[in-house]
Structure 1
Amino acid sequence: MTDWQQLRSSDFALPDEVRRDPARLDALVAELTDLLASRDPLERDETAYAALVTWIGDGVLPDDRLRPLGHLVAARFTADEVQARSFAPLVLAALVSRGVCEPGWIDAFEQWYAAEPDLRGHDADLGWVHAVAHGADLLGEAGRHPDVVPRRMLDLAAARLVAPVDEVWHDQEHDRLAHAVALVLARPDLAATDALGWLDPVADLLAAGEPGPVPAHVSNTLHTLRMLYLLVDRGVRTGPDEVVEVVHRRAVLDRLAEVLHTVTPWMW
């Protein structure tokens, strides 16, 4: 069994002889992919996720190992346990950010994201579950990839928002989803009709509201759109030192204001 505590203490740096040995590297990746579904947050979050994303980003994993890893992780979207499902998009987001993207991964993600029923942020036993936030990370990366139609990811974000749920998000899930949408809206080739059209089902949801308690999914939608308005107005951060402007900025701001106005017409 690998001494993962020692590797964590060294920021997952591998000796050169291990990096040059495909069999040893494959064995480590296989061990990590098993741990990625663990119920133990130390094994899953601080070890498997941290190591895999570090090795993907730093180029430790060679190109010919990336797609097999992505196929394995994408299959987790239909796993029985929520932590196995919710940590899959984080690894896929790292792969897509590296430039590796397969249509089947996006198909599997699309089928899972808006349908995921377990929307807990942090759990006392499991640690971070964060299906909405983790999925948002992949949504943003996929929406920026040239092989993915951006409107597809915007429509998926809308589907996640309008899907009826019982839980109000409270661990910044709406912030992460708003940031992901803003990243897609900053894509230079995004058509104006697509930058606005994805909001139509969201507008329909809010327009159909009735007096009484605000349903959880409506509350989640309002929080997400308000953060999105801020990001569109101020620019979206794409890196430590880079903030970019959303394309069709004025039109998107006007549409967001129009959609939100339906719920609070007495405020402005």
Structure 2
Amino acid sequence: MTVDFVDWPAMTADGYPFPKAVPACQVADELLAMLISPDPKICDGFAYTAAARWIAEGRFDEVLGQLGDTAACRFAHPEVQARSFAPLTLCLILKRADSIPGLVTQAAAER
């Protein structure tokens, strides 16, 4: 059983404000798990929409490399939605990393 750290319907209704009371790594883990869901409301409506916004805003800069690693591994995932969101997620990550020189190399050095 998983624990949801975010009230996704409420957060979506509020326009996707980042949940400040939850560490970015936990929010990222929750989003990554939701991107595997066969329910389009969860994977498209909640997870991908939030991920796109929050990655672009820099909310996951501290875990950007880990998000990229997970997305890259999902190209071989047995669930089609996981494979479908892998390149989309990687594009978001690469766009963010490209906008901040040294971001990914700095995060990799800290790991």
Unmatched 5+ stretches in structure 1: 101-268
Q: Which residue of 1 aligns with 2:42?
A: 43
1:76 is the counterpart of 2:80: no
1:98 is the counterpart of 2:96: yes
Which stretches of structure 1, 4 residues or longer, exceed 6 Å deviation after superposition?
A: none
Between structures 1 and 2, the one with greater strand share: 1
Between structures 1 and 2, the one with greater helix share: 2
| Superposition pairs of residues 163-178 of structure 1, within 5 angstroms | none
Instruction: Say which of 4, 10, 13 aligns to 1:6.
Output: 10
> What CA deviation, in whole Å up to 9, does each residue of 1:157-197 have, x standing for no partner?
xxxxxxxxxxxxxxxxxxxxxxxxxxxxxxxxxxxxxxxxx
Q: How well do the aligned residues superpose, as a CA RMSD in angstroms?
A: 1.5
Between the aligned residues of both structures, percent identity stands at: 36
TM-score by length of 2: 0.77
| Superposition pairs of residues 137-156 of structure 1, within 5 angstroms | none
- Select the structure of larger CA radius of gyration: 1
1:66 is the counterpart of 2:70: no
Partner of 2:10, secondary structure, is helix
* Cα distance in 2 for residues equivalent to 1:80 and 1:14: 30
* Cα distance in 2 for residues equivalent to 1:36 and 1:25: 16
TM-score by length of 1: 0.33
| Superposition pairs of residues 12-51 of structure 1, within 5 angstroms | 12-15=16-19, 17-18=20-21, 24-51=23-50
Q: How many residues align?
A: 94
> What CA deviation, in whole Å up to 9, does each residue of 1:17-47 have, x standing for no partner?
43xx6xx221111111000010000000111
Unmatched 5+ stretches in structure 2: 99-111
Q: Which residue of 1 aligns with 2:109?
A: none
- 1:81 is matched by which residue type in structure 2? E
Partner of 2:16, secondary structure, is coil
* Cα distance in 2 for residues equivalent to 1:14 and 1:55: 7
Which structure is higher in RCO with an 8 Å CA cutoff and minimum separation 6?
2
* Cα distance in 1 for residues equivalent to 2:60 and 2:15: 15
* Cα distance in 2 for residues equivalent to 1:99 and 1:25: 17
